[in-house]
Amino acid sequence: MAEKFPSRPVTMVVGYPPGGSNDIVARIVAPALGEALGTTIVVENRAGAGGIIGAGHVAKAKPDGYTVLLSSVSPVVLTPQTMTKAPFDSMKDLTAINTVGLTPEAIAIGPTLKVKSLKELLDLARSKQITLSSSGAGGLPHLTIELLKQASKGNIVHVPYKGAGPAVTDTLAGHVDGIVMDLPPLYALIKDGRLNALAVTSEDRVSFLADVPTAREVLPNFNVVNWIGVFAPAGTPADVLTQIDEAIKKTIARPDVKKQLENVAVVPSVLAGPEAFQSFFATEYKRWGAVLKEADVAMSN
């Protein structure tokens, strides 16, 4: 008789240190997900190399459902495609189970630039140089800036920083005109008026910043979201994937979990199931691979 899953705790690997958005989401989701599965979910931080170390650990783990990865876009879609030799193949070595939430990029400006909308910003970029900061080269904020460049045909200069903190500090000080970043690090600054959010890059407006328009309202089809999802090693049995998927759906449907996610500027979101997420994952991998190539973004190992 095969043992019934789960018969022991499940490890949820996060490829970043404690305190980042992936870790925050994991610690919100894990207790409720454990309750739904009837076991304990232990969050384990395996940080380093832009999330690659944690993702690589899960990619090589035993495919039995007891080791899963909670990951945003960069470690499984972006960074592997910027490396000369990635330690794993996302599309072959990982199986997508379901998303738990998403957060758009926010396009915001600091105190020095006197524009009131994304349209005004893009119009201005056609007549003068605009500088936009991000948390680093090769991430989703950088690629969002590349898409804004392409869409506007304007003179937009990307200014990468080593992390969100320095980028925010220099934007607030007026050393750069604006910033593009995942919403969570900017949320409080937008709410208290220190940054002026011109747009969010999700398909629809977010409920907790309902007065901030979407970029799509100016640029049709402009849609950039940093989704966060759960993955298992390739070869994990289908019945185990189904159990975890059903538990994820129950977890994200809980009002208390929804509120906790929204409080950190993450929109609760699940897809139909593993097949839908795997298809979306493949589409995202191909889409962002093309953007990386066009923007000539590469990193050495």
Q: Under a CB-based contact definition with an 8 Å cutoff, are residues 86 and 49 in contact?
A: no
Q: What pLDDT is attached to residue 160?
A: 87
Amino acid at 44: E
Q: How far apart are CA 16 and CA 7, in angstroms?
A: 27
Q: Which letter does DSSP use for residue 77 in this model?
A: I
pLDDT in tens, 172-221: 999 999 999 888 889 889 999 999 999 999 988 988 899 999 999 999 98
Q: What pLDDT is attached to residue 2?
A: 59
Q: What pLDDT is attached to residue 292?
A: 85
Q: How far apart are CA 17 and CA 158, in angstroms?
A: 26
Beta bridge partners of 24: none
State residue 242 phi and psi, 5-degree precision. Answer: -60, -45
Amino acid at 201: T
Classify burial at 153, counting beta carbons within 10 Å of its beta carbon; exposed 0-12, middle 13-18, buried 19 or more.
exposed
How far from the centroid of its chain's Cα atoms is residue 34's Cα?
Answer: 23
Through-space distance between the first and last CA atoms of the chain, rounded to whole angstroms: 44
Entry pTM: 0.82
Whole-number Cα distances in Å, 296 to 81, 138, 142, 178, 290? 11, 10, 12, 23, 10
Q: How far apart are CA 94 and CA 68, in angstroms?
A: 10
Peptide bond between residue 6 and the one before it cis (omega within 30 degrees of 0): yes
Low-confidence ranges of the chain (pLDDT < 70): 1-2, 297-301
Helices assigned H by DSSP within 14-108: 21-37, 52-59, 73, 79-82, 90-93
How far from the centroid of its chain's Cα atoms is residue 274's Cα?
Answer: 18
Shortest CA distance to 182 belongs to which of 24, 55, 18?
A: 24
